């Protein structure tokens, strides 16, 4: 049986890594952290923020509502408070459709090269 290397997933992400994931400034991540109570990063003795996978998932939801759907911060807060499950499901559907689109575009490009 061949050896399969397991993907190592980080437990904590630095603020710069989170900002890079979304293509935004570090200051925006700090601002969203203050504005949304669902984001609770771990802080070390030095005061550096470390975000968990759950925090990153919450950032995905916030980014989807604010940047992609055009909600205000207050509107995004209310939407997450009212029906978080619907927002999560909607975000998952959008993410799946984007992955499908990327796959189909790659397939089209590969077929046109032949």
Residues 6+ apart with CB under 8 A from 79: 65, 71, 87
The confidence score (pLDDT) of residue 82 equals: 86
SS percent in the chain: helix, strand, coil, step 5: 65, 5, 30
Specify the pLDDT at position 74: 93
Name the pLDDT band for 2 (thresholds 50, 70, 90): low
pLDDT tens by residue, 87-96: 878 778 888 8
19 pLDDT exceeds 90? Answer: yes
pLDDT one-digit tens code per residue, 29-84: 999 999 998 899 999 999 999 999 999 989 989 998 999 889 999 999 998 888 77
Q: Give yes or no for a contact between 35 and 79, defined as CB atoms under 8 angstroms apart.
A: no
């Amino acid at each position: 049986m061949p050896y399969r290397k397991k993907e190592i997933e980080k437990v904590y992400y630095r603020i710069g890594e989170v900002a890079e994931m979304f293509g935004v400034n570090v200051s925006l991540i700090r601002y969203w952290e203050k504005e949304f109570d669902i984001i609770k990063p771990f802080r070390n003795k030095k005061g550096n923020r470390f975000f968990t996978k759950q925090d990153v998932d919450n950032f995905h939801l916030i980014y989807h509502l604010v940047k992609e759907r055009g909600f205000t911060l207050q509107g995004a807060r209310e939407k997450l408070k009212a029906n978080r499950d619907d927002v999560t499901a909607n975000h998952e559907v959008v993410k799946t459709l984007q992955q499908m689109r990327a796959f189909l575009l790659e397939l089209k490009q590969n077929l046109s090269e032949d």
